[in-house]
Amino acid sequence: MQDQSLSHSNKILRLKDIALLIGLSRSALYDKQNPKSPRFDPTFPSKIQLGARAVGWREKDIIEWINSMRNESTVSAK
């Protein structure tokens, strides 16, 4: 069986995909990247410029970020 982390290491996700995966709105995701926003999260993965008006995120980075949030909440609950 192939390691699951290898299967999504190079995939690029668009904003709509990330919103569904994480369960946050589009504006909340942009707020996570805006240092002036109260919802700013410096640990949130950086976007990648795909074209003049298109951006995406590495699936691997998003999965790692989700896992770090899970680990953080598990540690906080103890």
Inter-residue contact 25 to 19 (CB < 8 Å): yes
pLDDT value for 32: 94
Q: What's the pTM value of the predicted model, to 2 decimals?
A: 0.76
What single DSSP character describes residue 47? P
Q: Measured between alpha carbons, how far is 54 from 70 in angstroms, rounded to an integer?
A: 29
pLDDT value for 8: 54
Which tokens belong to 21? Answer: 């995966």
pLDDT value for 1: 41
Note down pLDDT in tens along the chain; length 78 residues: 444 544 556 899 999 999 999 999 999 999 999 999 999 999 999 999 999 999 999 999 999 999 998 877 666 655
Which CATH number does 10-77 carry? 1.10.238
